[in-house]
Amino acid sequence: MPELRLNLVTREWVIIATERAKRPEEFKSLPTRKAVPDFLKGCPFCPGNEEKTPKETFRINGDKNWRIRVVQNKFAALSEIGEKKRVNNGIRRMVNGVGRHEVIIETPQHDVHPALLPIGHMEDLIHIYKNRFLDAYRDPRVEHVIIFKNHGERAGTSLEHPHSQLIATPVVPAQYRDRMEAATHYFDDTGVCLICDELQSELSEGKRIIMDTGHFVTFIPYAALSPFHTWIFPKRHTAAFSDITEPEIADLAVHLKSILCKLYYGLNNPDYNYVIRSAKPSESRNEYVHWYLAIVPRITRTAGFEIGSGIYINTSLPEQSAEFLRAVKVE
């Protein structure tokens, strides 16, 4: 019989459709990706085309060239120019679109998959995320910062050259507020951080754990919203990603590379998104907020029922999906 499971972190109900469930290996993507060269003349992110990108804001150099570049987005969702102004006109509310939109070009190579980057390169990428996260919050107009990656067409990418993005908004998104309210209520009821409790519950059950090391745990949650929806939780309680230490950066790089490799080899390189969910640095000592990284493979589609009800249908069993990924050998 199907089950309805409540995701306490997101406060969303999920139908685990056991009678429609597929075996994990049935979610493998078809090999439809075309071969791409390691350099593409017309790609603005490839070496030698630096003049095709807007202003560079940060870089890490390699032996012969840059390893990672950060540039302003040519088609930015928000503008860095202007004052933050709020307008209330009757029932209408408006804030002018100031903020920041950066692109993190992850590697000079056009054809490399993020899962196949060397572990040291992955550490550099996380260092860049931390640097840009902190820098964005120095802007007094910024209320919230999101670091995310779109990999593949179904995940929303427009350029195939490996890259991530940062968007800093002048308002706090409703989704973030809703989750913080859930965390606040849980803390008021129990005196314990919801994420910390979720982590301990998953560790005690063990069935959905993919990887457990000194600083992080990677797992598929009990009420995963979609097939292979994966969370990476830091074991140490802190509200802000910017608090991450050097040993934690090294450990997170291992987890991120490992899970991306498992998706790459186990599910034949599916499209996916990942996002860092975090409070702002000034709230890092908050007792009920706990930052984490979410990875969402785009191997099913949201349809009318999900849009109309806010209830997700997951056609995979989280326990079986975790078992499948644990068994995937990575290089």
pTM: 0.94
Q: Give exposure, 300-323, as e/b (b: 16+ Cβ within 10 Å).
A: beeeeebeeeeebbbbbbbebbbb
| Cα gap 40→139, rounded to integer Å | 35
8 vs 13: CA distance, rounded Å:
9
- In angstroms, the first-to-last Cα distance of the chain is 38
Quick check: is 194 in a domain? yes
Q: What is the pLDDT of residue 144?
A: 98
Exposure on the CB side of residue 115, measured as CA atoms within 13 A: 20
**Do the domain assignments include residue 76?**
yes
CATH number at 120 reads 3.30.428.10
pLDDT beneath 70: ranges in the chain: 21-22, 29-35, 331
Task: Say if CB 49 and CB 63 are below 8 A apart.
Answer: no
Report yes or no on 137 lying in a domain: yes
Question: How many domains are there within the chain?
Answer: 1
In a domain, 53, yes or no: yes
Range of the domain at 303: 3-21+43-327
In a domain, 114, yes or no: yes
- Residue 286 within a domain: yes
Tell me what pLDDT residue 289 has: 96
Q: For position 31, what pLDDT does the model report? A: 60
Catalytic center residues = 163
Those residues whose C-beta lies under 8 Å from the C-beta of residue 42, and which sit 6 or more positions away, are none
In eight-state DSSP terms, residue 51 is G
Q: Which two tokens stand for residue 185?
A: 């209520």
Question: Both tokens of residue 241?
Answer: 């990603």
Give a yes or no: residue 177 inside a domain. yes
| CA proximity to 292, closest of 174, 196, 170, 182 | 196
Could you tell me if 48 and 65 are in contact, meaning their C-beta atoms sit under 8 angstroms apart? no
pLDDT given for residue 38 in this prediction: 76
47 with 55: CB under 8 angstroms? no
- How many CB atoms neighbour CB 329 within 10 A? 8
Q: Are 29 and 265 in contact (CB under 8 A)?
A: no
Say how far residue 163 (Cα) sits from the centre of its chain: 13
- List beta partners, residue 36: none
User: Model confidence over 66-96: pLDDT tens digits?
Assistant: 999 999 999 999 999 999 999 999 999 999 9
Please report whether residue 31 resides in a domain.
no
Q: Residue 188: its pLDDT value, please?
A: 97
Tokens of 210: 């993919």
pLDDT at residue number 120? 96
Q: Which two three-digit tokens encode residue 233?
A: 């939780």
At 158 the pLDDT is: 82
Give 3-state DSSP helix, strand, coil % of the chain, rounded to 5.
Answer: 30, 25, 45
The tally of CA atoms less than 13 A away on the side-chain side of residue 267 is 26
**pLDDT recorded at residue 131:** 98
